[in-house]
């Protein structure tokens, strides 16, 4: 949507990439700094933490250090920590199982959950090119990605290559592109309220009841994928002017990126708990996200909007209003 309706003029790719960086990196770097401080604190308290894997459990080589530093700092390649093992010489090697080496390489990531952002960044690099491709080309890439995913699953009966390898993740991004094309052609300002509520209700039922029925398998995941891809355009059309939807959407990234820090802190034995670790972590990570959104993300959002406005002013066009796209 944003590539088609917002970053659709000559020179807009630069605006797209830099605005994505402004959205992703400040909140991530703030969280990374806090995670490093926490790692140093627990290291001196003789409490197991990330730094222990660098100094006690393994002796990474110089090339391994360079990769780990860049991956933790730039996120690009952070998804590879689940595809690699580390040998006794401190060298990295590709492995079929991320716990095959001791220690596992993902323990060197200060924010392990951020591996998905590494996959996301890989997609952004090719997203402007993909967005210009015709449906049959996207469908071909989709089928190749799905075939590779099934083949990797067949070889290993599970992660990481069928789940954490970018080419096997392309099906989700391309599914989103097809969802938008369906939205723009058939749903935007065209679908009736009754139809919007129907598909929105289906989406809610799928999300709430998915784990309640039938054993987890690929067939069940395909049903989930198709339901989400079909229902999201209707849900967006119904909620695109909702302030609550925008508010929750803006919190989604700081909550996601902040969970590793909060869970590590709350899991410490000395940290006071509200009922249990999980409930305490949920409450604190929401508060953390609210603070990050207020003090950091909101000012950056204003700056990002100003950049696009100035860019469009130079090209003689008005800035399109695309509501409720907190990650745009």
More confident residue, 152 or 323: 152
Strands annotated E in the chain: 84-86, 92-94
Lowest-confidence segment of 84-98, 235-249, 305-319 by average pLDDT: 305-319
Per the DSSP assignment, residues forming a β-bridge with 276 are 274
- 298-315 helix and 12-44 helix, angle to the nearest 10 degrees: 160
Find the range with the poorest average confidence among 29-38, 129-138, 215-224, 300-309: 215-224
Q: Name the least confident of 28-32, 129-133, 284-288, 309-313.
A: 309-313
Q: How far apart are CA 95 and CA 161, in angstroms?
A: 9
pTM of the model: 0.90
Query: What is the rounded average pLDDT of the residues 307-313?
Result: 86
Q: Cα–Cα distance between 147 and 155 in angstroms, integer? A: 12
Residue 327 pLDDT = 46
Q: Omega of the bond prior to 68 within 30 degrees of 0, cis?
A: no
In whole angstroms, what is the distance from residue 102 CA to residue 87 CA? 8
Alpha carbons 12 and 206: distance in angstroms, whole number: 37
Angle ∠(167,324,17) on CA atoms, nearest 5:
45
Residue 78 burial (10 A CB sphere; 0-12, 13-18, 19+): buried
Reference 218, options 150, 305, 320; nearest CA is 150
pLDDT, position 133: 95
Q: Worst-scoring range by mean pLDDT, 79-93, 95-109, 286-300, 304-318?
A: 304-318
Distances (CA, A) of 294 to 278, 287, 290, 297: 24, 11, 6, 6
pLDDT digits (tens, 9 = 90+) for 65-111: 999 999 999 999 999 999 999 998 999 999 988 888 888 999 999 99
Range of weakest confidence among 198-202, 262-266, 286-290, 310-314: 310-314
67, 100, 297, 316, 321 from 91: Cα distances, Å: 11, 14, 38, 53, 49
Averaged over 269-292, what is the pLDDT? 92
Lowest mean pLDDT among 53-62, 71-80, 118-127, 225-234: 53-62
Q: Residue 284: pLDDT band by 50, 70, 90 thresholds?
A: very high
| Distance (Å, whole) CA 150 – CA 170 | 13
Place of tokens 């391994």: 64
């Amino acid at each position: 949507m944003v590539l088609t309706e917002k970053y659709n003029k000559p020179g807009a790719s630069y605006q797209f990439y830099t605005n994505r960086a402004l959205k992703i990196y400040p909140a991530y770097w703030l969280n990374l700094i806090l995670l490093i401080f926490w790692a140093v604190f627990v290291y001196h308290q003789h409490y197991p933490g990330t730094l222990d894997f660098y100094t006690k459990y393994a002796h990474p080589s110089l090339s391994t250090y360079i990769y780990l530093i860049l991956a933790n700092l730039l996120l690009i390649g952070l998804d590879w920590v689940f595809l690699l093992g580390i040998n006794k010489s401190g060298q990295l090697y590709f492995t079929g199982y991320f716990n095959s080496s001791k220690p596992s390489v993902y323990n060197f990531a200060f924010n392990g959950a951020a591996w998905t952002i590494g996959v996301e960044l890989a997609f952004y690099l090719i997203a402007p090119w993909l967005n210009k491709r015709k449906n049959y080309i996207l469908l071909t890439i989709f089928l190749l990605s799905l075939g590779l995913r099934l083949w990797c699953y067949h070889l290993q009966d599970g992660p990481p290559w069928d789940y954490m390898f970018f080419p096997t993740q392309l099906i989700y991004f391309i599914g989103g592109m097809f969802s938008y094309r369906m939205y723009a052609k058939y749903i935007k300002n065209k679908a009736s309220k009754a139809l919007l509520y129907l598909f929105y209700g289906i989406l809610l039922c799928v999300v709430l009841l998915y784990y309640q029925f039938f054993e987890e398998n690929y067939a069940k995941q395909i049903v989930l994928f198709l339901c989400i891809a079909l229902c999201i355009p209707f849900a967006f059309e119904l909620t695109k002017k909702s302030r609550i939807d925008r508010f929750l959407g803006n919190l989604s990234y700081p909550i996601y990126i902040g969970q590793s820090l909060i869970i590590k802190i709350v899991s410490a034995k000395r940290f006071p708990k509200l009922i249990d670790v999980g409930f305490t972590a949920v409450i604190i990570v929401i508060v953390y996200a609210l603070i990050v959104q207020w003090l950091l993300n909101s000012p950056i959002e204003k700056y990002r909007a100003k950049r696009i406005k100035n860019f469009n002013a130079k090209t003689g066009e008005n800035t399109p209003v695309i509501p409720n796209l907190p990650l745009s």
